[in-house]
Amino acid sequence: MREVSEWRHAEELDGVRSVLPSKRKANGTWYRVPPSRKPVPLHDWSGWHSQTTAVLSVDGGKVRSPEAGPDGLEWFECRVGIIAPADGGSRGSTFYVGGVLEPDELFRRLYAGWQSAPTTGRRALFIADGAEWIWGRASLMFPGARQVLDIYHAAEHVASAAIAAWGEQSARERSWRRQAREMLLRPGGPAKIIATLCVELEQGTPADTKALAREIEYLRRHAKRMPYAELRAQDLPVGSGAMESAIKQTSTQRLRQPGMMWSRSGADPIQRVRAAHLGGNLTHTVARKHQALRAGALQPVDAFTA
């Protein structure tokens, strides 16, 4: 069997590359395309300097399906992950992954991107909402990253706790909620918020005892993930705005236009291409795909008869 480099006619090679897997032969000989000696990079990290703090994040967005579920039309989740410079960086500096992915697969792909980055000695924050599928995997895959609960989600739960404690639109609820949102950004603020709510639960007359207890438990569970004052003092982000933007650009704007419905198999490649485009990696992504196809396109004849 000869290598493709010995092929006499380049145009014939182009035709063979399009057949996967292929049993085609030329001049009575099977050909295979050798894998490239130089792997195609996942991302161009040249815009990152050694002191850049990395922000990792994951989230999901719902897409409408024509399949009928128990409540009528079904919605399924597309998930996205990013590795972004904390200072915003330049265009194309953020690494994106996306698709109709299960959580484990999403984290595996995000980890592959992280491994391809020059991460030695680099600080990292993992900012996300309170979804249970996120934090255990974040601890396992990115143990060196500091975990941060997105401050906007924290504020939403503080507001829900205020309503449960004093009733919606009551004077005390409105006043305390405004103060609490400011307190989140102060040193020791989250702990003071939790303490106030605990006193109300134990000694007061909450408007909704179960809801208040549930919100207190949520805030306690994420208390170590709310170092907002410390991060702000270092000019580091405390919210997942970059992640919300990624969901909007990969999913909402493209897959949730009026009247649109998608199958999972249809939405997945769109998400992947969008993620590659946003990260400036579309050329790399296509090159890696071609590399994989060339490596497996042609096999010697005994591979097909074995």
- pLDDT tens-digit map of 148-165: 999 999 999 999 999 999
Rg for the chain (alpha carbons), in Å? 25
Q: Judge if 64 and 139 occupy the same domain.
A: yes
Residue 139 lies in a domain: yes
Q: Judge if 97 and 61 occupy the same domain.
A: yes
Question: From start to end of the chain, where are the E strands?
Answer: 2-3, 31-32, 54-69, 72-85, 95-99, 124-128, 146-149
Q: Judge if 141 and 260 occupy the same domain.
A: yes
Q: Judge if 254 and 107 occupy the same domain.
A: yes
Does 135 have pLDDT greater than 80? yes
Determine the pLDDT at residue 296: 63
Determine the pLDDT at residue 36: 40
Overall number of domains in the chain? 3
Q: Which residues of 198-222 are buried (b: 16+ CB within 10 A; e: fewer)?
A: eebbeeeebbbeeebbebbebbeeb
| Per-residue pLDDT tens over the stretch 35-45 | 444 555 678 88
Regarding pTM above 0.85, the answer is no
**pLDDT > 70: percent of the chain:** 80
Q: What SS3 state is found at 93?
A: coil
Q: Judge if 140 and 161 occupy the same domain.
A: no
- Which comes out higher in pLDDT, residue 93 or 180? 180
Domain coverage including residue 94: 54-149+239-280
Residue 69 pLDDT class (50, 70, 90 cuts): low
Residue 179 has a CB neighbour count (10 Å cut-off) of 13
| Per-residue pLDDT tens over the stretch 206-221 | 999 999 999 999 999 9
Q: Quickly list DSSP for 196-251.
A: HHHHHHHHS--S-HHHHHHHHHHHHHTGGG--HHHHHHTT---S-HHHHHHHIIII
Residue 124 has a CB neighbour count (10 Å cut-off) of 17
